[in-house]
Amino acid sequence: MTKTVRFLFIFSFFTIVSLQKAQAQNPNQMGAWYMYFYDAQFKESQFGVQGDIQYRNWNIIGDLEQLLLRSGFTYRPKNTTVKLTLGYAHITTGDLGESDKSVTESRIYQEALLPQKVGGRIYLTHRFRYEQRFVENQDFRTRYRYNLFMNIPFNNKTFEKNTFYAALYNELFINGQQDIGDGRTVEFFDRNRTYLGLGFVLNPKIKFQLGWMNQKTNALGKGQLQVSMHHKF
């Protein structure tokens, strides 16, 4: 049995176990996000595209929390590892439970990714994102986000084929405006996300992650199972 086949077996096994445990809990306490990320360069130029498709559920599957479609044009300045993005996202957010009500949002965003290596095998990425949000039935809003990613390969020093790695991140969200119209307000602190996962490099272009994320707002804290595919063209 090859390393790849063993990984796919282990990945599937732990996914099934996680789903079974989550279904046994109160569905309000455990959700699931299924995500696909893509990143492509235009041949040898400094330009490219990147984005993601995320299907988020209040429970494991079936009760839509959000459908997020996001894409942007990227630019890498010469002689740096920085990547800049200008993009657009469309989000549909559903109510918890049997209700079919939903709210739509259009979002423009600017982003900077700054990778950093610490020691022999700790790979950090700092992501700064500024969002301009047009949420249905709300005034124009902005939001600031900072995410620190940390990836640590286990069986290799780089992310070559058949590498297992730890994937961690913490992201802070801050609202730019607190007045959202009609006498409604939001807090300055929007939310915080903390994630711990296991990743596997299938080949130089495709990686998978399975993990758990805790999201905290002023109103609640909620766990999310996350399954993601990361694809480079």
Q: What is the CATH number of the domain that holds 54?
A: 2.40.160
Q: What distance in Å separates the CA atoms of residue 3 and residue 162, rounded to the nearest whole number?
A: 7
Q: What distance in Å separates the CA atoms of residue 162 and residue 208, rounded to the nearest whole number?
A: 11
H helix intervals, 25-155? none
Structural domain harbouring 50:
3-232
Q: Given this model, what pLDDT does residue 187 score?
A: 95
Please give the sequence-ordered ranges of beta strands (E in DSSP) within the chain, or none if there are none: 30-41, 47-57, 64-75, 83-94, 102-118, 122-135, 141-153, 164-175, 179-181, 184-185, 189-203, 206-216, 221-232
CA atoms within 13 A on the CB side of 212: 11
H helix intervals, the chain? 3-24
Tokens standing for 202?
A: 């299938």
- Indicate the residue type of 10: I
Quote the number of domains for the chain.
1
- Indicate the residue type of 13: F
Cβ neighbours, 10 Å, residue 18: 19
Produce one character per residue of 170-183: b if its CB has 16 or more CB atoms within 10 Å, e if not. Answer: ebebebebeebeee
In this structure, are residues 209 and 202 in contact, taking their beta carbons and an 8 Å threshold? no
Q: Given this model, what pLDDT does residue 63 score?
A: 87
Task: Tell me the mean pLDDT per 10 residues along the chain, length 233.
Answer: 53 52 52 96 94 94 92 96 98 86 96 95 97 96 98 95 97 96 95 97 96 91 94 94
Q: Given this model, what pLDDT does residue 95 score?
A: 85
Nearby residues of 164 by Cβ (< 8 Å), 6 or more positions away: 7, 153, 154, 155, 198, 199, 200, 201
DSSP β-ladder status, 30-41 and 141-153: unpaired
β-bridge mates for residue 168, sequence order = 150, 196
Which one-letter DSSP state was computed for residue 98?
A: S
Q: Given this model, what pLDDT does residue 221 score?
A: 86
In this structure, are residues 55 and 69 in contact, taking their beta carbons and an 8 Å threshold? no
Q: Given this model, what pLDDT does residue 25 score?
A: 44
Q: Given this model, what pLDDT does residue 129 score?
A: 98
